[in-house]
Amino acid sequence: MYRHMDIIRYIIAIILGLFGLYIVTMNWCIFVLWLLKKKGASMGGFLGGLCLCISFAIIPNNPYVGLCWLAFVVDIGSLPLIVWTGIYLLMGKHKDEREL
């Protein structure tokens, strides 16, 4: 019984991992295009980091499960975007709606 559950967990981890990796890759592509052309689309937010984190956490007998939080650091749409947005807002470079 445990062997079947491990196989299911591996399958779910692979599916979530591939989906998360796709979102993380697309977030980085959007970021690079924004740097080069100052145009971009909306990022996937926490979705890529969340999928990678869950994928890494559910792998059976994973001795490195405590490092699953690194997925949010690798995904440019997660933690780095929040930090950069906070810095941007604190520096006052955003337009105030009242000034429009």
pLDDT in tens, 61-94: 899 999 999 999 899 888 887 888 788 888 876 5
Q: What is the predicted pLDDT for the residue at 9?
A: 93
| Number of residues in the chain | 100
Q: What is the predicted pLDDT for the residue at 42?
A: 74
Which residue type is seen at 54? I
pLDDT in tens, 22-47: 999 998 888 888 888 877 677 777 89
The ranges assigned to domains in the chain are 2-99
Q: What is the pTM assigned to this prediction?
A: 0.76
Report d(CA 41, CA 33) in Å as an integer.
9
- pLDDT above 70: residue 97: no
